[in-house]
Structure 1
């Protein structure tokens, strides 16, 4: 099996993206259902193999992309791969989503012996490099591929523990910045790897949600590093970053609007109209069909109706719009539901950039 154009579409994702960027008509709106570990469920590949076996990782991506024909493929290393490259651990269950083991940094003295990841030399990142080699060759002329590098604050929280990190931001800010620098430099090394194979960059930083840290802490501990990363990614790869942020991010939109973004993916709790009117004038937006109540639990009619609603409203964003789910679709979702999501995108008709 190889990566192939979807027979339901007139254009490949690359052709569609170019047309929209040039202000021309495309066959449909760009669409991204976030599938994550659902790829394991559909492909029959175990969660652990999906993160460690190069051939099976690539096969899972092929199977899911070829069925649905969405508009980009996203591979790792993600937060998990970078945390593990830095010495942290994740638990990979037989079924379900991997989760962090006990945090590796119990004392900031550990930083004295830590160094940033060198992606080209690191055995954990090597798995994703091999996957990038395989898929980037197959995907040429068909679909863009992005390497997810997680988010700096979320990676840092996996190494230290969320509760301790939030406390440390108030009591031990200097140490937090030291750890954030190691993490950010590790992510930049992964950007260098992605650039070598023509990949773009995706990021997700759920722990940086202002509901957890507040806008002042975001400005101090997240904004400088994320700005640095998005600028660096654009410079090195020639592609702007796809960023997903969970939760109610309205209080930090003034920061998010300053990043070099291909899209800002919004949680389904956000009012898509407000986003299109406000942050949509600064950066392209993506969203925000509810992955649980609409995609996983909804009927065909409900999925079609909500997709139509999001496309009609989101398309008014001045900087551009991509149809997406508000977060990851649960891994045991009926695969036909995602067929309906993509068919609903096609049913919306032509899209003009």
Structure 2
């Protein structure tokens, strides 16, 4: 299928429900027009489609809003306000140096915690921290621009990933063997910072939704035993805290291999688990599908960035075949962050395939569009 044919086919698949109506009905176990799906990418990766750099999207409020409007009008992305800490936000707030390239993702060039004797001097104080105040003011500006009912989303890193924004990741891996007590203190501090941010956003903006990303907890990086000792207890505390603050359990995404810790995830209290494309959705469904919603996992690089339109369509179809009948629900998504440079036609192909093969979706049943 070429791009022109794709657009014509997509026009024959109009939505019959709003996104909020679809999610609510699907959660109740009702049949919906098509499978719920997360739109691939946002302005932080797709701004170049409209002639802007990633830096312009980050720093220019008018461009930020214009890109969100363009994505909404072209692809149907929901407009919301992001109060995300991301993977590096806590680290930057307490003093790590983050570099923001003009047209690429940010990275940490210097970690604040080189010696654990300095841990007690670190402060995460939203009321006085310039970096955190800038984030809050950005959300207020968005709510003023779009209306006070604009939904607010908060994403925080898992405690181990947060720690890796404060102290060099290689040092943390060494600490797991040689400096356990201090690492536990850092993880407790990281958990406290994340909960403080969620609580601050709840107080400032009222209703908020929250999610957790935790790539450092991946079995690709640490052993299952290390996960159980250093990550799991603090993740559980974070999930419980977010649930108490917001009234809803958060979802969790962990990059890379996670199968060795799937059973551990049942004890965290999350309501959704998003899996990387290196894991099999059928296996995830059989392991966790009775207990929580699962989501995934179109490959972001091999398929979304480098694949053809037909590759994207086939990948979505296979994901739906493997997991759309998951007992507690399935949400289509890419396996990880959408890469900068993803072709416009591949975003269309993802949406087209979700609507075509995901027709007549209901929890616990294969989508009617597959039959």
TM-score (norm 1): 0.90
Partner of 2:368: none
Partner of 2:274: 265
Partner of 2:325: 316
- 1:15 equivalent in alignment to 2:21: yes
Change (3 A) 1:123 1:71: same
| CA–CA distance in structure 2, aligned partners of residues 167 and 203 of structure 1 | 25
Root-mean-square deviation (CA), in Å? 2.4
For residues 106-146 of structure 1, the C-alpha deviation after alignment (integer angstroms, 9 at most, x for no partner) is 1111112113x2334432122322333354674888x8542
Change (3 A) 1:281 1:35: same
- 1:244 equivalent in alignment to 2:253: yes
Q: 1:83 aligns with which of 77, 86, 91?
A: 91
| CA–CA distance in structure 1, aligned partners of residues 262 and 80 of structure 2 | 26
Partner secondary structure for residue 221 of structure 2 = helix
Partner secondary structure for residue 104 of structure 2 = coil
| CA–CA distance in structure 2, aligned partners of residues 130 and 55 of structure 1 | 14
Partner of 1:306: 315
| 1:197-216 pair list within 5 angstroms | 197=205, 198-216=207-225
Partner of 2:110: 102
Aligned partners of 1:273 and 1:314 also within 8 Å: yes
Q: 2:196 aligns with which of 189, 201, 224?
A: 189
| 1:106-145 pair list within 5 angstroms | 106-115=114-123, 117-135=124-142, 138=146, 145=152
Partner of 2:367: none
Deviation at 1:265, TM superposition (A): 0.7
- 1:229 equivalent in alignment to 2:235: no
Q: 2:176 aligns with which of 166, 169, 185?
A: 169
Q: 1:350 aligns with which of 346, 351, 360?
A: 360
| CA–CA distance in structure 2, aligned partners of residues 334 and 147 of structure 1 | 28
The number of residues matched between the two structures is 346
Which of 84-93 and 8-17 deviates more?
A: 8-17
Partner secondary structure for residue 336 of structure 2 = coil
| 1:28-107 pair list within 5 angstroms | 28-35=34-41, 37-70=44-77, 75=82, 76-107=84-115
Aligned partners of 2:298 and 2:315 also within 8 Å: yes
Q: Which segments of 5 or more consecutive residues in structure 2 lack a partner in the other structure? A: 1-10, 364-371
Deviation at 1:64, TM superposition (A): 2.5
Change (3 A) 1:250 1:64: same
Change (3 A) 1:233 1:260: same
For residues 154-204 of structure 1, the C-alpha deviation after alignment (integer angstroms, 9 at most, x for no partner) is 121122111111001111111111111221111001111332422211211
Aligned partners of 1:200 and 1:240 also within 8 Å: no
Partner secondary structure for residue 91 of structure 2 = helix
Aligned partners of 1:32 and 1:72 also within 8 Å: no
| CA–CA distance in structure 1, aligned partners of residues 279 and 96 of structure 2 | 33
| CA–CA distance in structure 2, aligned partners of residues 10 and 127 of structure 1 | 39
For residues 296-316 of structure 1, the C-alpha deviation after alignment (integer angstroms, 9 at most, x for no partner) is 122222211211111122112
| CA–CA distance in structure 2, aligned partners of residues 11 and 139 of structure 1 | 22
| CA–CA distance in structure 2, aligned partners of residues 266 and 153 of structure 1 | 18
| CA–CA distance in structure 1, aligned partners of residues 21 and 154 of structure 2 | 20
Q: Which segments of 5 or more consecutive residues in structure 1 lack a partner in the other structure? A: 1-5
Change (3 A) 1:28 1:55: same
Q: 1:25 aligns with which of 31, 43, 66?
A: 31
Partner secondary structure for residue 105 of structure 2 = coil
Query: Which of the two has higher C-alpha Rg?
Result: 2
Partner secondary structure for residue 210 of structure 1 = coil
Aligned partners of 1:29 and 1:350 also within 8 Å: yes
